[in-house]
A and B are shown apart, each in its own frame.
Chain A
Amino acid sequence: MAMTGIAAWVELQIHAEEFKGAHLKDLFEQDAKRFETFSFSYDKYLLDLSKQRINQQTLNNLIDLARQQELPSWIERLFNADKVNDSEQRAALHMALRQPKGASLQHEGKDVVSDVQASLAKMQILVEQIQNAQWRGYDGRPISSVVNIGVGGSSLGPLMVCDALEKYAPADTVTLDVHFVSSMDGSELEKLLPKLDPATTLFIVASKTFTTVDTLANANTAREWLLAASKQPVELINQHHFIAATASPSAAESWGVPISHQLLLWDWVGGRYSLWSVIGMPIALKVGMAQFRELLQGAHQMDKHFRQAPLASNLPVLLGLMGVWNINFLGIHAHAILPYDGRLAQFPAYLEQLEMESNGKSVNRDGQRIAYRTCPVLWGQVGSNAQHAFYQLLHQGTEPVMCDFITPAVRYDGEGDELQKQHQLSLANCLAQSRLLALGDSREPESDGASKFKHYDGNQPSTTLMLDALTPETLGGLIALYEHKVFVQSVIWQINPFDQWGVEQGKKVATSLLTQLGSGLGDGLDASTDGLLRHIQQQTRGAGQ
C-alpha cells in the first residue's frame, strides 16, 4: 500500500525533492541560531537535531504527518490499554510496569498496577534475601554468584542495564557476581561453569513462556552440573538453586521451580519491553532494589512526557519523525548508534532488538504489503572504539548513514583529574565526529588543496542525545525514549510494533531439521541444506573413528 492518500506524506515528498541538494554546512552558514531552533530539552535530556538535514518547514510537515496518522490518539490508545498489538489481540502495557505505587490502570477488568507492585514486592524479598547473604545453596553457604539464563528480551535489557549501572552497586550488601547466559549452543555455560562454585551459584531462568528452547537447554545443562557436583536429590537443587521469571507458572513448575520461587509477568509485557518487570531481577541484584525503582521512575517520567508534551516539543515524537524523514524522504537506510560512554557498550545491541524486531516489517496493520521503507539496518558500538572500526565508511563511504550520538554531559564528578580528563577527551571526540560528519572538511583550515583521498564530503546527518549524567533515573528515561520513538515510527508506518512473527518459522524448521540431523535422512530438502547435512554427517562419522 502506498502513502499517496496522505497529504502530509505527499507534501514531504515535494519538500524533500526541493531540499535534497541542501548541504548541512550551508544550513549552518545560513542560520546562526540553528542550534537554538532545533535542539529540544526536557528534564535531564537534551535532544539536538540541528545536525539533521531539516529546516523549519521539514519539522512542520513531519508534525502534520504525525497528526494525519493520528499519533495523539494512538498514544492515548497505547496508554489506555487498548489492544494495540492487534495481530495477537493484546495490549502493550510496559508503561504499567513503571507506574508508581498507588496508581491504577484497568485492563480486562483488573487493576494491573497492583499486580505489578505485588510482583515487584515479591522480587524485592528474594533480592534482599540474596543480597543479605541469606539465600542458601545446597550445603548451607550463602549464594555469591547469580547466572541469568534467558535470551532476547530476557537477556539483552538486563545485561545492558547491569553493565551501565555497575558503579551504583550498593556498598552495604554483599557484592554478587551476576552473569548472563543465552546462546543455545552452550558456549557461554561451558566457559562460565568451571569458574563457579556450584554450592553458591543461583540460576534465574527467565522465559515468558518457559518453552524457549535456547533457555531450557541451558537450564537443563546448569541443573545437570549442580546435580553432579552436589550429589543431592533434584528436588533440593530445584528448591535452592533456581528462580523463574515467567508468565507461565505451570510450565515453570513442571520443569521444577517451586511456585514460591517464581516471579510473575504477564502476556501484555513484550519480551523486548520486559526489563522493567521481574525479568529485571539481575539489575536489582546488581544495583539494589532502590536503584531499580529509580530506573523505573526515570522511565515513568519519560512516559508522562510522551503522553502530555505537545508533538512539536515531544522528544520521542521528534526522534521518531527524524528517522521517518531520513528513511522515507532522504533515502537513508542505515542507522548507527554511537554512545560515547563505555558504560553504554551494550546499548546498541539492545536497540538492535528493540528497533528491528519491532519495526522490521513490510505488512501493515490491515495485512497489506506496504510500498515504503520501514526500520533501517541498525547497528553500533561505543563511538570512540567505532572510530577505529567503521567510521571510515561513515566519512568516506558510498552509503548514507544517520547516526545517534549519545553521551552524558558530566561524568566522574569528584573522582579524580585523570578520569575527568578522559571524559573530556571522549566528549571532544563525540563533538568532533558529529561535526565532521555534518560539515565535511569545508571548515577545516588545512583542507584546501588536499588530495581526493583526504577529502570529507560531510552532509551525514546525526542526532546528539545528551544526558546530564548517566544515572539509574536517566538510563530509565533514555530507554523509554527509544521505546516510544519506535512506537511513533510504527504509527507513521501503520505497522504493529509489538508482534514478531518473523522469528517463529525458523524455530519450526529447526525442529524438523533436528530430527533429520539425528536420522540422517534429508528427504525433501533443498539441495544446499541437503548437501550441508550430508557433509556434517560425514564429518561426524569421521570424528567418531
Chain B
Amino acid sequence: MRINVYGGGLSAWVAAACLAKVGNDVVIDEMAGQQQLALGELSVIGDEPGLLPLIKQQITAGRLVRRQRDVHIGTTIHWLALQPSEKLIAERVVGALSDSGVTGLLVINQCNFAVGATQELQVDLATTGDMVYVPDNLQEGMALRDFLQPKRIILGLDNDEALVKTRSLFRPFTVNLDALQLMSSREAEFTKFAITGMLAIRLGYINELANLADLLKVDISVVQEGMGSDPRVGPHYLSAGCGFGGQNFDAYVSTFSSILQQQRDGSLLKAAVDENEQQKELLFRKFWQHYHGDIQGKVVAIWGASFKPGTASIDNAPSLKIIDALISQGVKVRVHDPEALAKLQQYYLNEPLICYANSPLDAVMGADALLLVTEWPEYWSPDYAQLLGRMRHPLIIDGRNIFDKAMLQQYGFSYLGVGR
C-alpha cells in the first residue's frame, strides 16, 4: 500500500519505518518547514535503539522517502502522527485532502489532541474518506517492538466501512496480538488518556507512600512487593522513585490534566502531575537535608541523566531539576550517563559547575554524595571498594532503590533510598 506519514516525532518515524519494513511504500513528511536535518542529527531517531538503522535500511530499499511541505494526493492512506500541540497542522493536512476531491481515503489519526478531535477532523475531511483513531502504545526505548509486535490494538472508528481497510493495514502487526478492540473514536481517545493518567496516578501514589515510609521508618520496597502480589493491584508501575519524565508521557498527562481542569474537577491527576514535579527534586532535598543546607562548594556525582534507561533523551528528566537546584546553590556536579551526556552538554552550554565524566567511577572522584538518578544496568553492581575510596564522603542517595542498603552500610556508606 502507499502511505503518507505526517509528523517529525518518535511515533511518526517509528510508524514510517515499520510500515515500510512490512512492504508498504511510505512517504514521511516531517511538516518541519524548509529545514530538513540529516537523519543522524535528529535526536528523536538517535535516542531510540534500532530506529536509525531500520530507517536507513528502508530508505536504501526504496520503500521510505522523506518529503517536505506538500500533501501527496495520489496516495489513499494518510497517517497523522503529530505532537499534541500540532492540531493546526493536522487540520491543514486534512483540509488539503478534502479539497483534493478524491474519494475513498483512509486517514489514521495517532495524535493525542483531545477527546472528540478525530470527529472534528472527520467533519473537515467530509466525504473524501474516513478518519480512524489508533492510539499509539509506544514506550520510548522499546518503540520498535511495541509497533511491530503489539499485544493489543485499539481501533477507534465511527464508520464500519473503514474497518476492512484498517484491519488490512494492521494485519502484518497482529502476530502476537492478544486483543483487537473496536470502539468509537471518542471512546478510543478517552481510553488513551485514561490509561496514561492511570499510570501517572499509580506512580504518584507509590511515591507519596514512599515519602511517608521515609517518615515512618518503613521500607517501601517490601511494601511494594506486598502490594504488587495482590492481583487487584498488580506489580506494574509501582516502583517508587525520583519522578517520571519523557517527552510523550509528560505531554499526554499534561494535555489530559488540562482537559480535566477545564471541568474543574480534575484535581486528582493535576495533583499527581504537580507532585511528580516536586518528586523530581527529591534527591536534591535529601542531599540538602543531610548537610543541613550547608552545601555551597560541595561536590555531587550523578549517575544517569536520561529520563529512563535505554534512551539518550533528557526530555523532562528528573536529572535536569536536580542539576538546576545543585548549581543554583553553588554545588559542583560530576555527571555520568552512558548515552545522554551530549544532550546534557548542549542543554547546559558553558556551565562551569558541571563536569562530564567518562566513567561512573570517574564521576565520584572527591564527591560528597552520589545521586543515582537513572537506573542504567551498568550502575547496579559497582566496585564498592573503589567507590568508597574515591568519594570524599561516602553518601549514596539512591533515586531508584537499586542498591542493597544493608550491604552498602557494611561497606561504610551512608545510604538514603526513596522510602527505605
Which A residues are within 8 Å of any B CB, using their own CB? Answer: 129, 132, 134, 136, 138-141, 232-233, 236, 239-240
Interface presence of B293 (CB below 8 A): yes
B166 at the interface (CB under 8 A from A): no
Residues of B contacting A136 in the complex (Cβ-Cβ under 8 angstroms): 288, 293, 325, 329
A-B contact pairs, 17 of them (CB 8 A): A129-B328, A132-B328, A134-B324, A134-B325, A134-B329, A136-B288, A136-B293, A136-B325, A138-B293, A139-B285, A140-B284, A140-B285, A140-B286, A232-B292, A236-B292, A236-B293, A240-B293
- Interface check B289, CB cutoff 8 A: yes
Contact (A140, B289) CB under 8 Å given A132-B328, A134-B324: yes
Q: Which residues of A contact B286 (CB under 8 A)?
A: 140
Instruction: Indicate which residue in A141, A232, A233 contacts B278 across the interface (CB closer than 8 Å).
Output: A141
The CA-CA distance from A474 to B293 in the complex, in Å, is: 42
Q: CB distance B293 to A239 under 8 Å?
A: yes
Q: Quick check: is B398 within 8 A (CB to CB) of the other chain? A: no
Within the complex, what minimum Cβ distance (angstroms) separates A130 from chain B? Answer: 11
- List A contacts of B324 (CB < 8 A): 134
Complex contacts, A140 vs chain B, CB 8 Å: 281, 284-289, 293
Bound CA span A136–B291, Å:
13
Task: Decide if B289 touches A139 in the complex (CB within 8 Å).
Answer: yes
Residues in A with CB closer than 8 Å to B325 are: 134, 136
Across chains A and B, the number of contacting residue pairs, with CB separation under 8 Å, is 31
Q: In the complex the two chains form, what is the Cα distance from A132 to B287 in whole Å?
A: 20
Interface hub of B278, B286, B292 (most chain A Cβ within 10 A): B292
Instruction: Mark interface residues in B269-298 (1 if CB within 8 Å of A CB, else 0).
Output: 000000000100100111111001100000
Which residue in chain A gives the minimum CB-CB distance to B285?
Answer: A140
Specify the chain B residue showing the minimal Cβ separation from A137.
B293
- Report B-chain residues with C-beta under 8 Å of the C-beta of A232: 292
Write out the residue numbers on chain B whose beta carbons fall within 8 Å of the beta carbon of A141.
278, 281, 285
Q: A391 to B286, alpha carbons, bound, how many Å?
A: 60
CB distance from B389 to the nearest CB of A (A): 29
Residues of A with C-beta under 8 A to B293? 136, 138, 140, 236, 239-240
What are the 3 tightest A-B residue pairs by CB atom distance, in nearest-first order? Answer: A140-B288, A140-B285, A134-B328
Interface string of B324-354 (1 = CB under 8 A from A): 1100110000000000000000000000000
Chain A contacts of B289 at CB under 8 A? Answer: 139-140
Q: B370 to chain A: closest CB distance in Å?
A: 18
Report A258 CB to chain B, min CB distance, Å.
12
Q: Which residue of A lies closest to B328 (CB)?
A: A134
B 124-181 contacts with A by CB, 8 A: none
Query: Bound complex: CA of A136 vs CA of B324, how far in Å?
Result: 13
B64 to chain A, nearest CB (A): 40
B339: min CB distance to chain A, Å: 28
Nearest CB in chain B: distance from A527 CB, A? 56
With a cutoff of 8 Å between Cβ atoms, the chain B residues found around residue A132 in the complex are: 328
Looking at B281, B289, B293, the one whose CB has the most chain A CB atoms below 10 A away is: B293
Closest CB in chain B relative to A125 CB, distance in Å: 11
B321 shortest CB reach to chain A, Å = 10
Beyond A136-B329, A236-B293, 10 additional contacts (C-beta under 8 Å) are: A129-B328, A132-B328, A134-B324, A134-B329, A138-B293, A140-B281, A140-B285, A141-B281, A236-B292, A240-B293
CB contacts (< 8 Å) of B292 on chain A: these are 232-233, 236
Closest partner residue, chain B, to A232 (CB atom): B292
Residues of B within 8 A of A129 (CB): 328
Q: Which A residues lie within 8 Å of B288 (CB)?
A: 136, 139-140
CA–CA, A132 and B324, complex, Å: 10
* Residue numbers in A under 8 Å from B281 (CB-CB): 140-141
Cα–Cα distance between A138 and B288 once the two chains are bound (Å):
9
Distance between Cα atoms of A375 and B281 in the complex (Å): 56
A53 to chain B, nearest CB (A): 55
| Nearest opposing residue in chain B for A237, CB measure | B293
Q: Which residues of B contact A239 (CB under 8 A)?
A: 293
Bound Cα distance from A134 to B326, whole angstroms: 9
Min C-beta distance of A183 to chain B, whole Å: 31
Note all chain A residues with C-beta closer than 8 A to B285. 139-141
1/0 per position for B310-332, CB-CB distance to A under 8 A? 00000000000000110011000
Cα(A141)–Cα(B292), bound, Å? 13
For residue A290, give the distance in angstroms from its CB to the closest CB of chain B.
Answer: 20
B residues less than 8 Å from A236 (CB atoms): 292-293
**A233 contacts across to B, CB distance below 8 A:** 292
In the assembled complex, how far is the CB of residue B186 from the closest CB belonging to chain A, in whole angstroms?
31
Q: Which residue of A lies closest to B282 (CB)?
A: A140
Complex CA distance for A236 and B328, rounded to whole angstroms: 18
User: Nearest A residue to B278 by beta-carbon distance?
Assistant: A141
Interface residues of B in 46-100 (CB under 8 A from A): none
Chain A residue numbers with a CB within 8 Å of B328 are 129, 132, 134
| Centre residue among A129, A134, A140 by max chain B CB count within 10 A | A140
**A240 CA / B292 CA spacing, docked (Å):** 11
Query: CA A140 – CA B278 in complex, angstroms?
Result: 11
| Complex alpha-carbon distance, A141 and B274, angstroms | 14
Among A136, A232, A233, A240, the most chain B Cβ lie within 10 Å of the Cβ of A136
A132 to B281, CA, bound (A): 14
Min CB–CB distance A198 → chain B (angstroms): 14
Cα distance, A524 to B387, chains bound together (Å): 77
Q: How far is the CB of A193 from chain B (nearest CB, A)?
A: 22
In angstroms, Cα B322 to Cα A134, docked, is 11
Write the nearest CB–CB distance from A131 to chain B, whole angstroms.
Answer: 12
In the docked arrangement, what's the CA distance between A139 and B291, Å?
Answer: 11
Interchain nearest-CB distance for B375 vs A (Å): 23
Shortest CB–CB separation between residue B46 and chain A, in angstroms? 30
A136 and B288 CA atoms in complex are apart in Å by 9
Per the bound structure, the CA–CA distance linking A132 and B321 in Å amounts to: 12
Question: In the complex, what residues of B have CB within 8 A of residue A138's CB?
Answer: 293
Least CB distance from A525 to B in Å reads: 50
Q: Contact flags (1/0) for B87-118 with A, using CB distance below 8 Å? A: 00000000000000000000000000000000
| A359, B289: Cα distance in complex, Å | 53
> How far apart are the CA atoms of A132 and B325 in the complex, in Å?
10
User: Which residue of A is nearest B327, CB measured?
Assistant: A134
Residue in chain B with minimal CB distance to A240: B293
In the complex, A240→B288 CA distance in Å?
Answer: 12
- Minimum CB–CB distance from B211 to chain A (whole Å) comes to 12
Least CB distance, A21 to chain B, in whole angstroms: 64
Roughly how many angstroms separate A136 CA and B329 CA in the complex, as a whole number? Answer: 9
| Nearest-Cβ distance from residue A223 to partner chain B, whole angstroms | 16
**How distant is B53 from chain A, measured CB to nearest CB, in Å?**
40
* Alpha-carbon gap, A138 to B286, bound state (A): 11
Determine the distance from Cα of A241 to Cα of B286 in the docked complex, in whole angstroms: 19
Chain A residues closer than 8 Å to B278, beta-carbon distance: 141
Distance in Å: Cβ of A134 to nearest Cβ of chain B: 4
CA distance A239 to B289 in the complex (A): 14
Provide the residues of chain A in CB contact with B284, threshold 8 Å: 140
Instruction: Report B310 CB to chain A, min CB distance, Å.
Output: 30
CA A134 to CA B296, docked complex, whole Å: 13
CA distance A134 to B295 in the complex (A): 13
